[in-house]
Amino acid sequence: MPEGHGLQPALRAAALELPSAHVRLLADVLAAYEAPTTSARATVTAVVPTAGFRSTARHILDCWAATPGLNGFAVALALSTAADAVAQLRATSSTEIVWTGPATAEVPVRLTRQVLVNLVRSAKTSLILVSFAAYRVAELADEIGVAAQRDVDVRLVLEDSEADGGSLRFAATKAFSELGSAVNFYHWPPADRPVNSSGGRASMHVKSALADEHTCLVTSANLTGQAVDVNMELGLLVRGGPVPARLSRHFRQLMVDGVLKPVPQ
């Protein structure tokens, strides 16, 4: 379901989430109607026979019905404008391979440690770091502390210890204990996690770093000295475009919803 209420966020969500060709088809059909009539609903939702498209189209029609004074041409124009803006935004984004391990001519070595340090240094307002394990990353902890000193909102989402129901011998927060209250620690409470058929509880196994809704690293590497410097690890660094912003908002919403909760101090 698209985020937010009202026609504007509905159109924005459609432009961001649907394939561009589907957005164009939707705009073309909307432009042919003066109002979101029963006939319009039947035609619009049938343009592309996928559940995601139908859900998005219905949401737009519902929001259009709640916004009097607009005809289909105006709604289609707004949708096309949003789609053009998204296309331009995506054209300005870049994706790079972050590889720690043996190099080839195709993929040179780019240590995960240095990418993480640069990402933390680039953060101006917000920084979210997510990892399963964490230890022996003193340089990274120092850089996070410096970011907090310049008023960056720093949130670390880490796995719990076995003693607290998690999967680690020691809680990952210990690697950053010197940061104290300068940063915010979050966890996925073990008691809230699903359990498999054998009775094993799920782990918080994500590894990612996000700065300012502009840059994100999605990686196989934990925040450990071994992973960021020595192991064979693969990640993708995305700058610009909708992906960093959506992923950042995703984690923040999980915090708002209470899925990820502050670690008791």
Q: What pLDDT was estimated at residue 3?
A: 46
Q: What is the pLDDT of residue 91?
A: 77
DSSP the chain: --SSSSHHHHHHHHHHHS-HHHHHHHHHHHTT-SS--HHHHHHHHTSS-SHHHHHHHHHHHHHHHTSTT--HHHHHHHHHHHHHHHHHHHHT-EEEEEEESS--SSS----HHHHHHHHHHH-SSEEEEEES-EES-HHHHHHHHHHHHTT-EEEEEEPPBGGGTSSBSS-GGGGGGGGGGGSEEEE--GGGS-B-TTSPBP-----EEEETTTEEEEES--EEHHHHHTS-EEEEEEESSHHHHHHHHHHHHHHHTTSSEEPP-
Residue 234 forms beta bridges with which residues?
A: 99
Q: 99: how many CB neighbours lie within 10 A of its CB?
A: 21
Q: pLDDT tens for residues 23-38?
A: 999 999 999 999 999 9
pTM over 0.95: no
**Closest Cα partner for 183 from 208, 217, 152, 142?**
152
pLDDT digits (tens, 9 = 90+) for 48-77: 988 889 999 999 999 999 998 999 999 999
One-letter amino acid identity for 148? A
- 178-184 long-range contacts (CB < 8 A, ≥24 apart) are 178/141, 178/145, 179/141, 179/144, 179/145, 179/148, 179/154, 181/265, 182/145, 182/148, 182/149, 182/154, 183/144, 183/148, 183/154, 183/155, 183/156, 184/153, 184/154, 184/155, 184/156, 184/262
Using a 10 angstrom Cβ sphere, with 0-12 exposed, 13-18 middle and 19 or more buried, the burial of residue 188 is buried
pLDDT of residue 251: 97
Q: What is the mean pLDDT of residues 221-230?
A: 94
Distance of CA 152 to the CA centre of its chain: 18
Confidence (pLDDT) at 19: 87
- pLDDT above 90 (res 17): no
Q: Assign domain 94-262 one CATH number from 3.30.870.10, 3.30.230.10, 3.30.1330.30, 3.40.50.300.
A: 3.30.870.10
**pLDDT for the residue numbered 181:** 92
pLDDT of residue 105 exceeding 60, the answer is yes
Rounded to 5 degrees, φ, ψ at 76 are -65, -40
Q: Where are the domains of the chain?
A: 7-91, 94-262
Please state, in angstroms and rounded to a whole number, the distance separating the CA atoms of residues 215 and 237.
Answer: 7
